Chain A
Amino acid sequence: MKRLLAMLCPSPLGRGCPEGAGEGTHVAGCCVDFVPSPPTALPKGGGSKTEFSLVATGEGKSRLRHIRHVIAVVAIAFALALSASAFAIDPLPFRNNAQRDRFQHLTSELRCMVCQDESLLSSNADFAKQLRRQIFDMMQQGKSDKEIKDWLVARYSTFILYDPPLAPSTIALWFGTPVILLAGGVVVVVLLRRRARPADSIAEDSGDDW
């Protein structure tokens, strides 16, 4: 059972998938972006996959499920190896740099639904590759950024946008910061007023030598 990535690291690679999880499988906290290779390709000495009975704890249920997955990994791995590889560096035939820049900017603002802590631009998930292709095609058809985003939102909800739209539900988000800034500013102004004396009344104080 793969424990999830070590703490506090700014890694957008979510893990925590039971072994052999197929890409795009709906499992809480699982973002598959690698493809297990068929066993014949594995180097020796790595130890065979072992099932081991686990001390039953509160998480016993998911652990038992893990054992089944260990068994299933071979078949799934083989099937996966046949399907599209998960690491999707995507050469797309851009007409020019401007188009590529626009594409990169647009996809960087969209969320990958599978590996939800990555953008569509950087995600290796096959889903992301597919959507990138879709977006590229739409760009070729002359659709604007807004049309593309609307098209995606209609299918995947605003969750897919990393730039939250200005809507009643996001008012607190967008106006929260200015409000806090204003409140803080008021406090500072009051503080300075109360504290600050007219300049001439303050003795020249070299403070602490500097």
Chain B
Amino acid sequence: MNPELGQVALILALLLSGLQCVLPIIGAWHGSRPLMATARSLAIGQFVFVALAFGILMWSFWINDFSVAYVAQNSNLSLPWFYKLSAVWGAHEGSLLLWMLILNLWTVALVVLGGKLPEAFFSRVIGVLGFVAFGFLLYMITTSNPFLRLFPVPPNGADLNPVLQDPGLVFHPPTLYMGYVGFSVAFAFAIASLLGGELKSTWVRWARPWTNIAWGFLTLGIVAGSAWAYYELGWGGWWFWDPVENASFMPWLIGAALIHAQAITDKRDGLRAWTLLLSIFGFAFSLLGTFLVRSGLLTSVHAFAFAPARGLFILVYLAVVVGGSLLLYALRAPKVTGGKSFALASRETLMVIGNLMLTVACAMVLLGTLYPLVGEALNIGRISVGPPYFGPLFLLLMTPLVLALPFGPLSRWGKADLKVWRNALIRIVALAVVAGIIAFIVGAHGWYQLLGVTAATWVMAGVALFAIKRWREAPRGKRYPFEMLGMMLAHFGIGVFIAGAILTRSMSVEQDVSMRPGASVDVGAYDFHFNGVTETQGPNYRAQQGTVVITRNGKQIVTLHPQKRTYSGGQVQTEAAIEAGVFRDLYVSLGDAIGDGAWSLRVYDKPFVRWIWGGGVFMMLGGFVVVLDKRFRLKRAVEPETVRVKPVPESPRKLAEGEA
């Protein structure tokens, strides 16, 4: 299969996306059904060609076609087949193609599942997505073509970086992109509503399931990345506030805020303007993240392309898409006031506070991530902003949110029952204190550990209390609608996460030791016995493999085999050996031969580290479960309830903005 076909496919997709962003929107504006109907076919057509291009690239990897430069740069004859396939998204150009494919998957999902949306609205949504696709395809074709050829054809490629030869890296980018790109749907809904001048907020209800799923995937992607870093990089850390990590965390924070703002708008018709704004922000931060990691602007971004054209193009794209949206918002957003009123003590207030903290946290992360650039650009000296900045500030900002968390579900819309609050407060405080005391008795004496225990209990007790109250008060069969269940799962996940993050931080023990075969060291409650190092081999590497037996009170727990691999390309990679457990991880990394048969090793006892990702998984599940609620099932042929706010003279301006 000729790689040039891939280029052709991309160009055809570009043309289709161009039509996709113009025809349906004109159709909606004029009320022309034939034009609006083109939305579906154009979207599907674009998907077909993008999928074709992706398939061709994957096929090139599969058959080791090193005449394609991208394949030669990222693959190798001795690479295991599954890593050959994942190498498709192992570098800049291929990852952009993955981005496009996922955008198309979301669009096609909309086409298939959104059939009952009002025609005009639906057309606008597809049109906006077409505009997003157009820009991205243009970017790919002009600056980042994955199908460039290499001549003469090398007999073998450069190897895939061994760090990438790992299941985590196979899994992490696609899930992350499902999240990132998925926010474009909420974005498209928001823009479509602005374009159409909808007065009612029913569109928010339609947007909610899509937003929840995207956020769920993003959560999964971040969890996967964190877990991967933990076991692959050998120093036991799981989050470093690295700019690349921050780039994925910021949309996550906005997404979490958006989910809640959408709920208010959906159920109480409030915060309409804010929900619109957040929908724009969510996708904006996704694009911003994409920009940052490819612009070469951030020191620590081991990122792609430093070619200036690439950074500049994305910036222009970002400016047009987000700037255009914000302009549209400024001109067309509905009145800020409106919706059902609520008392100061109410669920709405609590959720607004939550929104505030999440948004400020996102701004804080943005500030810290960009600040080193400020230092350089304005020549005020080089500074580094790292965990000592982000950590404490994030903790401070999340504290009000965590404190308020149990009370949100317990409050009613409009007006909370203060008696309920008071009773809940007493119970939750009591449980948290009891948990703290138990922890103290069991041996947790550090104030940070106690904080972790009490905070986690605070949150989880809140969820439990709500669950019990609901069980008592709601009729059978209607106790836990899916929307509520999802909320409970996600909030519970927060509690689990808090426990994991704080307890791991405060209770981990890490030591670098040098040991001769036969020696042992005790770390925490465990004894690590070193039994020497042997040589072994893998598909494309040779390894020094250590044997470490871990015992506790004389009883053998596990035998671990940390490795130091030398790959066919010459790189040396350390593979840590981990004994994973629900309540603790035991972790061994092989260092160097010191001489006399002695080796240096790093050994860890990391309690509760899995709870970090477990919490994230609960949050993800929560996001997915919400979608099952029957509230979100569209009834047959929803008729447009929209009322045009003003006539459509804006057309020239709209066209100029490129939004229509």
CB neighbours of B383 from chain A (8 A): 158-159, 161, 164, 169-170, 173
Contact (Cβ within 8 A) A36 B570: yes
Contact (Cβ within 8 A) B380 A109: no
State in angstroms the CA–CA spacing of A19 and B307 once bound together.
20
Contact (Cβ within 8 A) A12 B300: yes
Is B569 in contact with chain A by the CB < 8 A criterion?
yes
Is A8 in contact with chain B by the CB < 8 A criterion?
yes
Task: Fill in one digit per residue for A49-81: 1 if any B CB lies within 8 Å of its CB, else 0.
Answer: 010111101110000000000000100010000
Task: Fill in one digit per residue for A114-155: 1 if any B CB lies within 8 Å of its CB, else 0.
Answer: 001101011000000000000000000000000000000000
Q: Which residue of B lies closest to A38 (CB)?
A: B570
Segment at the A interface, from B15-23, B387-395, B490-498, B634-642: B387-395
Is B233 in contact with chain A by the CB < 8 A criterion?
yes
Partner of B352, one of A29, A162, A188, A204: A188
Q: How far is the CB of B359 from chain A (nearest CB, A)?
A: 7
Given the interface pairs A47-B77, A87-B574, the reply to whether A159 lies near B384 with Cβ below 8 Å is yes
State in angstroms the CA–CA spacing of A11 and B154 once bound together.
30
Partner of A47, one of B156, B296, B343, B481: B156
Q: How far is the CB of A36 from chain B (nearest CB, A)?
A: 4
State in angstroms the CA–CA spacing of A57 and B93 once bound together.
15
State in angstroms the CA–CA spacing of A15 and B160 once bound together.
12
State in angstroms the CA–CA spacing of A180 and B156 once bound together.
54
Given the interface pairs A4-B304, A13-B163, A173-B368, the reply to whether A89 lies near B349 with Cβ below 8 Å is no
CB neighbours of B309 from chain A (8 A): 58
Contact (Cβ within 8 A) A1 B352: no
Secondary structure at the A interface, as helix, strand, loop or mixed, is loop
Segment at the A interface, from B38-46, B221-229, B553-561: B221-229
Contact (Cβ within 8 A) A117 B78: no
State in angstroms the CA–CA spacing of A208 and B478 once bound together.
12
Contact (Cβ within 8 A) B176 A8: yes
Q: How far is the CB of A176 from chain B (nearest CB, A)?
A: 5
Q: Which residue of B lies closest to A89 (CB)?
A: B591
Is A203 in contact with chain B by the CB < 8 A criterion?
yes
CB neighbours of B601 from chain A (8 A): 89
State in angstroms the CA–CA spacing of A124 and B258 once bound together.
40
Is A83 in contact with chain B by the CB < 8 A criterion?
no
Question: What's the A-B contact tally at a CB cutoff of 8 Å?
Answer: 320
Is B551 in contact with chain A by the CB < 8 A criterion?
no
Is B600 in contact with chain A by the CB < 8 A criterion?
yes
Task: Fill in one digit per residue for B166-194: 1 if any A CB lies within 8 Å of its CB, else 0.
Answer: 00010011001000000000000000000
Partner of A10, one of B151, B161, B242: B242
Q: How large is the interface on A (under 10, 10 to 19, 20 to 34, 35 or more residues)?
A: 35 or more
B contact residues, total (Cβ < 8 Å):
134
Contact (Cβ within 8 A) A9 B382: no
Contact (Cβ within 8 A) B600 A89: yes
Q: How far is the CB of B490 from chain A (nearest CB, A)?
A: 15
Task: Fill in one digit per residue for A156-179: 1 if any B CB lies within 8 Å of its CB, else 0.
Answer: 011111111000011011001100
State in angstroms the CA–CA spacing of A9 and B282 once bound together.
19
Q: How far is the CB of B604 from chain A (nearest CB, A)?
A: 11
Q: Which residue of B lies closest to A115 (CB)?
A: B300
Contact (Cβ within 8 A) B340 A4: no
Q: How far is the CB of B593 from chain A (nearest CB, A)?
A: 9
Is B8 in contact with chain A by the CB < 8 A criterion?
no
CB under 8 Å from chain A, chain B span 82-97: 89-92, 95
Contact (Cβ within 8 A) A87 B564: yes
Contact (Cβ within 8 A) B267 A208: yes
CB neighbours of A6 from chain B (8 A): 89-91, 95, 164, 169, 173
CB neighbours of B237 from chain A (8 A): 122
Q: How far is the CB of A85 from chain B (nearest CB, A)?
A: 5
Question: What are 28 of the A-B contact pairs (CB < 8 Å)?
Answer: A1-B158, A4-B91, A4-B303, A5-B161, A12-B242, A46-B568, A46-B569, A47-B568, A55-B69, A57-B148, A59-B307, A87-B572, A87-B591, A89-B600, A90-B591, A90-B600, A91-B513, A100-B511, A117-B299, A117-B300, A122-B233, A159-B384, A162-B387, A181-B360, A185-B356, A196-B344, A202-B414, A210-B481
Query: Which of A's residues lie within 8 Å of B, judged by CB?
Result: 1-16, 19, 28-29, 31, 34-37, 39, 41-43, 45-48, 50, 52-55, 57-59, 73, 77, 85-92, 97, 100, 104, 108-109, 111, 116-117, 119, 121-122, 157-164, 169-170, 172-173, 176-177, 180-181, 184-185, 188, 191-192, 194-199, 202-210
Other A-B pairs, 11, CB within 8 Å; known A58-B307, A169-B375? A3-B74, A4-B91, A6-B89, A10-B225, A15-B302, A184-B360, A197-B342, A199-B343, A205-B340, A206-B412, A207-B414
